[in-house]
């Protein structure tokens, strides 16, 4: 009898395992990273949250604030550092070298990085600057990387010219936007960086502007990530928690599929993990990352393009939204795209009635006949969740990030 029971239990486990694997496979099949065997996780509960060019010794402190991958590496990747990344289960995207290609810890390399900001004027070795790196060179580098390894994506990051097309730091390449459409062929994951608090008097809308441009120049065929500032890296203004949050959610609402943080400080003293000089930034990033992780299955789900519509009471303050649906619930993530107040009026197709939960704010809003309103301060973010046709919204999904690795 025990033998028969054991057989039944084994059979149940096997069937359950097959069903679970099938479910995970179905959930992961839509991941943009499924085309690579050594790329970012395809688990729907994983959303890329990275940090730029850090030593492996900093992995634990960044993991504690929600970072789940390192982009770039401080120096030439060696076996000791890669072993440390692997031990701490921190994936990395370094410059390709023989160590990374041949190491037993190769699975912890989730991509290869191109030269940073090739669109800018490049130092000429004599104290001056020459032109940007030609797109043909970038594409040739890409092909050389791929010749060594097709199992991983290539990461390509541009500078602020992706947002401010007249940026003079590109030298003779200034205002050449055709450059990007050509150079984008040199990467699988395309990114850019701009730091509006530190360098542009808090014009946070410069962040989504760059994402929109990259999506246009790539015809929507590339994975788009972007960088977010966290420190006064040259001794300027410290980004406030609200500004960091606004930059992150503007990015996500405009379609960024990965958030990368720039955390260095250069002045008055250098510190590569400079964010830890600023407790308010650490607290803000920790809270933002926890919320992104909890919403990862939603952020990774398809975007609804013909659903909820929003209008702003102020023509000078657009309200940007992205709509997602998962497990019977609708999510609308919204942000004011200017530093002034407005009222957003949201219209939901089908004229439903529902009680809307504003995530992270401990409040609800009534939706009647398919409409609801909310107030927005300058660059303010609101995240809405509801089930159309019901009087209450379900709870947000449980964060299952622990199973990603």
Q: Let me know if residue 2 belongs to a domain.
A: no
Supply the range of the domain harboring residue 174.
49-299
- Residue 211 shares a structural domain with residue 318: no
How many CB atoms within 10 Å of residue 165?
A: 17
Rounded average pLDDT over 98-107: 97
Question: What are the tens digits of pLDDT across the range 144-179?
Answer: 999 999 999 999 999 999 999 999 999 999 999 999
Tokens 């010219």: give the residue.
161
Sorted by sequence, the CB contacts under 8 Å of residue 359 that are 6+ apart come out as: 291, 295, 383, 384, 385, 396
Where is the domain boundary, 299, 327, 345?
299
- Residue 267 shares a structural domain with residue 322: no
How far apart (Å, rounded) are the C-alpha atoms in residues 192 and 206?
11
CB 383 within 8 A of CB 365: no
SS3 content of the chain, % helix, strand, coil (to 5): 35, 25, 45
CB 148 within 8 A of CB 111: no
Q: Let me know if residue 211 belongs to a domain.
A: yes
Average pLDDT, the chain: 90
Rounded average pLDDT over 219-240: 96
CB 109 within 8 A of CB 149: no
- Residue 209 shares a structural domain with residue 325: no
- Residue 144 shares a structural domain with residue 226: yes
* Greater pLDDT, 287 or 393: 287
Q: Let me know if residue 149 belongs to a domain.
A: yes
Sorted by sequence, the CB contacts under 8 Å of residue 91 that are 6+ apart come out as: 40, 68, 69, 70, 85, 108, 109, 110
Rounded average pLDDT over 325-332: 95
* pTM for this model (two decimals): 0.89
- The model's confidence at residue 27, banded by pLDDT at 50, 70 and 90, is very low
- Residue 274 shares a structural domain with residue 356: no
Beta strands in 24-104 (DSSP E): 49-54, 69-73, 92-93
How far apart (Å, rounded) are the C-alpha atoms in residues 204 and 158?
18
- Residue 65 shares a structural domain with residue 204: yes
Question: What are the tens digits of pLDDT across the range 60-79?
Answer: 999 999 999 999 987 889 99
Confidence at residue 75, expressed as pLDDT on a 0 to 100 scale:
81
Nearest Cα to Cα of residue 377 among 314, 310, 291: 314
Cα-based distances in Å from 383 to 133, 141, 266, 318, 332: 40, 41, 35, 16, 6
Q: What is the CATH number of the domain that holds 362?
A: 2.60.40
CB 108 within 8 A of CB 85: yes
Q: In this model, does residue 323 exceed pLDDT 90?
A: yes
Sign for the pseudo-dihedral over CA of 25, 31, 36, 42: negative
- Residue 288 shares a structural domain with residue 370: no
Tokens of 9: 């239990």
**Main-chain phi, psi angles of 145, to 5 degrees:** -65, -45
**Main-chain phi, psi angles of 104, to 5 degrees:** -60, -20
- Residue 179 shares a structural domain with residue 318: no
Rg (CA), the chain: 23
Where is the domain boundary, 299, 322, 353?
299
Q: Let me know if residue 246 belongs to a domain.
A: yes
Q: In this model, does residue 403 exceed pLDDT 70?
A: no
- Residue 316 shares a structural domain with residue 206: no
- Residue 84 shares a structural domain with residue 112: yes
Tokens of 154: 């290539």
CB 174 within 8 A of CB 166: yes
Percent above pLDDT 90 for the chain: 86
Nearest Cα to Cα of residue 348 among 332, 370, 368: 370
- Residue 202 shares a structural domain with residue 256: yes
Q: Let me know if residue 253 belongs to a domain.
A: yes
Q: Let me know if residue 95 belongs to a domain.
A: yes
Where is the domain boundary, 299, 330, 365?
299
Q: Let me know if residue 30 belongs to a domain.
A: no
Half-sphere exposure of 335 (CA within 13 A, CB side): 23
Q: Let me know if residue 137 belongs to a domain.
A: yes
Confidence at residue 198, expressed as pLDDT on a 0 to 100 scale:
95
- Would you give the end-to-end CA distance of the chain in angstroms? 39
Confidence at residue 76, expressed as pLDDT on a 0 to 100 scale:
87
- Residue 226 shares a structural domain with residue 368: no
Q: What is the CATH number of the domain that holds 82?
A: 3.20.20.80
Q: Report the domain count for the chain.
A: 2
Rounded average pLDDT over 321-339: 97
């Amino acid at each position: 009898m025990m033998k028969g029971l054991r057989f039944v239990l084994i059979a149940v486990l096997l069937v359950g395992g097959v069903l679970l694997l099938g479910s995970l496979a179905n959930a992961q099949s839509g991941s943009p990273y499924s085309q690579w065997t050594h790329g970012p996780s395809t688990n729907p509960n994983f959303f890329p949250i990275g940090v730029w060019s850090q030593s492996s010794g900093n992995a634990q402190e960044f993991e504690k604030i929600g970072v789940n991958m390192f982009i770039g590496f401080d120096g030439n990747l060696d076996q000791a550092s890669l072993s440390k990344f692997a031990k701490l289960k921190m994936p990395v995207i370094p410059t390709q070298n023989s160590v990374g290609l041949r190491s037993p810890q190769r699975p912890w390399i989730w991509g290869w990085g191109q030269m940073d900001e090739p669109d800018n004027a490049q130092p000429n070795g004599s104290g001056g600057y020459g032109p940007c790196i030609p797109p043909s060179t970038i594409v040739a580098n890409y092909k050389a990387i791929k010749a060594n390894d097709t199992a991983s994506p290539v990461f390509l990051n541009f500078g602020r010219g992706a947002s401010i097309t007249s940026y003079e730091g590109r030298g003779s390449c200034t205002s050449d936007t055709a450059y990007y459409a050509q150079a984008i062929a040199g990467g699988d994951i395309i990114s850019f960086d701009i730091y509006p608090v530190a360098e542009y008097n808090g014009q946070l809308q410069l962040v989504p502007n760059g994402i929109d441009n990259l999506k246009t120049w790539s015809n929507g065929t590339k994975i788009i990530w972007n960088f977010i500032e966290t420190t006064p890296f040259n001794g300027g203004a410290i980004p406030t928690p609200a500004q960091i949050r606004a930059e992150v959610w503007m990015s996500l609402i405009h379609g960024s599929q990965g958030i990368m943080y720039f955390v260095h400080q250069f002045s008055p003293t250098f510190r590569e993990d400079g964010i830890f000089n600023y407790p308010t930034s650490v607290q803000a990033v920790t809270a933002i990352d926890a919320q992104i992780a909890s919403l990862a299955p939603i952020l990774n789900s398809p975007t609804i393009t013909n659903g909820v519509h929003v209008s702003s009471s102020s023509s000078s303050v657009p309200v940007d939204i992205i709509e997602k649906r998962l497990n019977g619930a609708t999510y609308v993530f919204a942000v004011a795209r200017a530093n002034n107040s407005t009222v957003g009026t949201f219209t939901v197709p089908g004229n439903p009635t529902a009680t809307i939960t504003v995530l992270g704010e401990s409040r609800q809003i009534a939706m009647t006949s398919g409409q609801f309103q909310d107030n927005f301060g300058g660059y303010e973010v609101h995240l809405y969740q509801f089930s159309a046709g019901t009087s209450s919204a379900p709870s947000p999904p449980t964060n299952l990030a622990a199973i990603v690795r």
